Amino acid sequence: MALVVKLLVQRIALGLLLLFAASILIFVGTSMLPGDVAQEILGQSATPEALANLRAELGLNEPALTRYLNWLGGAVQGDFGSALTNGMDIATSVKSRLSNTLFLAFWAAVIAVPLAIILGLTAVRFRDRWPDKVISGFTLASVSLPEFLVGYLLIFIFAVKLRWFPSMSMIYDGMSLGQKLNAIAIPVLVLVLVVLAHMMRMTRAAILNVMQSAYIETAELKGLMRFTIIWKHAFPNAIAPVVNVVMLNMAYLVVGVVVVEVVFVYPGMGQYMVDHVSKRDVPVVQACGLLFAAVYIGLNMVADIVAILSNPRLRHPK
């Protein structure tokens, strides 16, 4: 038990260290963006005096280290400051946008994760036969297409031709759950098609690797049904790599939805960040980048912890 606790503490400490390093990269990267924030806010007709006063008001004249420490200290307390373009509190805006992104990612994961596991088990059960080839071919075709292309194709089919779902996925607080699900149906389908192939193929590969073990051969010699061997003996021992790939794709569903949100004009974190990148609203970009990094690192840390708890070999000191 002490060894497990030590490994868990090490993983958590490593995650916090990575997040700290990510905060430095985000701050340095946004500070190097071309253009002038004060000029963007006041416009091309602003006088030099007005620009100098606004830079001083925004703290742009302070040393970079001071600005970084002030920003990091506020971020740790949940205070990301105010948006430069509209003066709104960033934390308040991010809260609603992040909940929308998590709502979209949740429903995509609810469909994609069980479907990927079922397809992976089916592909192993019928290895090298037509079901395996059909599943592999379909998933490879879906992951080979760019997200925006898949999105526009599905809009053309389901929104323009069939008129089943709206082409723009706008949701707000007054909508019922059914109305929200109808609004996000097409972007959810796009995300499912994008992440399904990776999870299915990794599930298939992990189970096939376990199927070569001696105890699987013993179970086969006992006369157990093949699907029973796969489900009761192979899959539980392949759960660690499956959990890892599921968590990586869950992180993608939250962090990598920028293109999907822009295509469908979805009011999530990705759309929020893109809107303020074009306006060079640095505090908003920094806040979104830090939250994306925290989600990605956090989910990967959860995957490591689950792998440690589920696989005794990872707890061995060597």
- 208: CATH: 1.10.3720.10
What are the angstrom distances between the C-alpha of 240 and each of 78, 186, 210, 251, 318?
Answer: 33, 31, 12, 17, 19
Q: What is the pLDDT of residues 91-128, one digit of tens each?
A: 888 888 888 888 888 888 888 888 888 888 787 777 77
* Length reported for the chain: 318
Query: Does 251 reside within a domain?
Result: yes
Q: Are 289 and 26 in contact (CB under 8 A)?
A: yes
Q: What is the pLDDT of residues 32-60, one digit of tens each?
A: 766 666 666 666 666 677 767 766 766 66
Query: Does 53 reside within a domain?
Result: no
What pTM value is reported for the model? 0.76
The DSSP code for 89 is B
Domain region containing 129: 90-280
Query: Does 140 reside within a domain?
Result: yes
Number of domains in the chain: 1
Query: Does 312 reside within a domain?
Result: no
Query: Does 23 reside within a domain?
Result: no
The DSSP code for 316 is S
Query: Does 221 reside within a domain?
Result: yes
Query: Does 269 reside within a domain?
Result: yes
Query: Does 5 reside within a domain?
Result: no
The mean of the pLDDT values for the chain is 77
